[in-house]
Structure 1
Amino acid sequence: MTDTVLYDVPGPRARSRHRLYGVAASLVIAGLIAWVCYLLVDTGQFEAEKWRPFEYEGIQRLLLEGLGNTLKAFGLAAVLSLALGAVLAAGRLSEHRPLRWAATLCVEFFRAMPVLVMIFFIFVALKVQPLPALVAGLTLYNGSVLAEVFRAGVLAVDRGQREAAYSLGMLKSQVMTHVLVPQGVRAMLPAIISQLVVALKDTSLGFLITYEEFLQAGKLIATNLNYDLPFIPVVLVISPIYIGMCMLLSWFANWVAKRERRSVKTRGAQVAKAEPGPMVPGVKP
């Protein structure tokens, strides 16, 4: 019943149209995939000689090292972005006006600045090594975006929860850590994971500052292959790994969200059976 509160149940004609649309969309997608495969076959991208280099131990080691560097940059940027986002969100929610203005200025500036510009500025102007420059750029951008996610999640909690906590004599820090944040996590979590997926994909910008990440490893392999269109086999190898990592993060987000939505089952307390009280003189039972 709760699934049909906001819309009507589709009738037989609507279900038939939905099936027709699904079949048509599936045929279009299958046609696009077939067309792409035809182009790859027509240009000889599945020939054995173009895939034989990936059997070499040196190329496999280069790809694994690049993947490890990508995960290292992502791990550092993810942790620092979450920390920076929490600090900036606390500043934006502060009752002190100078602190709130300073946090707002940082959030708006770094959120509007392109990630590549920040990475290049840190790498070239400040003369920072590739890994710290990449992590710093990703942290500043994603941290500012996550700050808005955290702030929106806290503000999404019902106002009555905050007022009830203050009426019990709790301090603002206690209200934030014990009441607002735990309840806001459910609203924040999908957006947090989505932003971390963006950070994972943006680690590929590291190849522009010579950081030896996964995409840079693929570029080095492609430039040393001596046949036409060497980048296509490399892309066909690298792309599924990027897609798999992003899907893994999305699956983790859905898994955590389902656990958060589960209702906690409690058992009723044992209550003693009520006994009749003593008789009061002059009062009829």
Structure 2
Amino acid sequence: MTGQLIPDRPTPLRAKRPRRTYAAAFMYDEPGPVGRRRILVGSIVSVVAIAAVVGYGLWQFGSHGQLDPARWAPFTEWPIWQYLLVGLLGTLEAAAIVAVLGGLLGVLLALGRVSSVRPVRWLCGLYIEITRTVPVLLMIYLMLFGLPQLGINLPTLWKLVVPLTIANSAVFAEIVRAGILSLPRGQREAALSLGMRPVQAMRHVVLPQAFRNVTPSLVTQLVSLLKDTSLGYIVAFTELLYRGQVLASYLHLLIPTYVAVTVIYLVVNGSLSALASRLQRGPRRRPSAQPVLPALPATPHQEESHV
């Protein structure tokens, strides 16, 4: 009687439900019961202290007449908010241009920092160190007063965009370089073993994984970039803070105007910060399911032994 070997069907492994851990547990050990209790007490004390400071500030504003409804009445009208939102569009325009140009230049600098060519690596490192040392405000003043002495007078937008691009490209470069160095060397070596050229391995294998790892950091840097555009008032660029200054001078309402500007900044930057937190928590929430290995077919030798 001829028998047939039926391969065993492996029992699929169930994905274990991930434990609840702190978001920064990969940086340090998860606190125990005493540590969690101290964190809770510290959080409560901090909230109470912040609430006391805010309450004292509101009391001071009220005692000096800053909470008078007549002072806040102009901000119930749409034309006032429309005037400020035009400045917000200018802020977003400048930030978008800097993000694109600074991001592209930052990727090139990061690739130069990890290059095997020593002069390229040295020049890129020198550029990054210099731009990270020089204040952005100084570079804006050079664009505003230095270049016109040489006969170069850029448009108002680019007097702000160029210094911010130079400064933020160095930060983007370091973020991308950290993402590249965080990957195991085996990723690139495996790509090269498949016949890819080094450029193809970097483009198709290394960079996509590096960007995925540092996406929260890149979004956080965009928040900082958006705040840096407030320096546009120096070159009289129509951005949010500049419009706020003009509106405060026109209405003679300094505190209400800057409170409205602060609210707009909080909404925009808070949305970006929430996006960064979501991107950072997203990959960790996915359970790491173990793959189910398929059953191996019987070899001819095994089939003959069961005849």
TM-score category by the smaller chain? 0.7 to 0.9
With the length of structure 2 as denominator, give the TM-score of the two structures.
Answer: 0.80
Aligned-residue offset at 1:38: 0.8
> 1:21 & 1:259 partners in 2: Cα distance?
27
> 1:272 & 1:206 partners in 2: Cα distance?
66
Aligned-residue offset at 1:270: 6.2
1:26 to 47, 53, 56: 47
SS at match of 1:94: coil
Pair 1:178 & 2:201 matched:
no
Query: What corresponds to 1:208 in structure 2?
Result: 234
SS at match of 2:96: helix
SS at match of 2:33: coil
1:32-111 map, 5 Å: 32-111=53-132
Aligned-residue offset at 1:164: 2.7
Query: What corresponds to 1:249 in structure 2?
Result: 272
- Gaps of at least 5 residues in structure 1 are none
Call closer, same or farther: CA 1:15–1:188 in 2, change over 3 Å: closer
Call closer, same or farther: CA 1:33–1:278 in 2, change over 3 Å: closer
Q: Number of residues paired by the alignment? A: 278
Cα pair 1:85 1:147 within 8 Å, conserved? yes
> 1:61 & 1:278 partners in 2: Cα distance?
80
State the one-letter code of the partner of 1:232. I
Query: What corresponds to 1:6 in structure 2?
Result: 29
Aligned-residue offset at 1:187: 3.1
State the one-letter code of the partner of 1:239. T
Aligned-residue offset at 1:64: 1.7
> 1:180 & 1:98 partners in 2: Cα distance?
23
Q: Between 175-184 and 71-80, report the one with greater CA deviation.
A: 175-184
Pair 1:155 & 2:155 matched:
no
Pair 1:235 & 2:258 matched:
yes
**For each residue in 1:119-150, what CA deviation from the matched residue of structure 2 results, as whole angstroms up to 9, or x when unmatched?**
22123222222211111111110111110111
**For each residue in 1:152-198, what CA deviation from the matched residue of structure 2 results, as whole angstroms up to 9, or x when unmatched?**
11011112222333333321112212222222224312221121111
> 1:244 & 1:212 partners in 2: Cα distance?
20
> 1:21 & 1:265 partners in 2: Cα distance?
37
1:128 to 154, 169, 179: 154
Query: What corresponds to 2:9 in structure 1?
Result: none
Aligned-residue offset at 1:265: 6.5
SS at match of 2:183: coil
Q: Which has the higher contact order (CA 8 A, sep 6+)?
A: 2
Pair 1:188 & 2:214 matched:
yes
> 2:246 & 2:105 partners in 1: Cα distance?
34
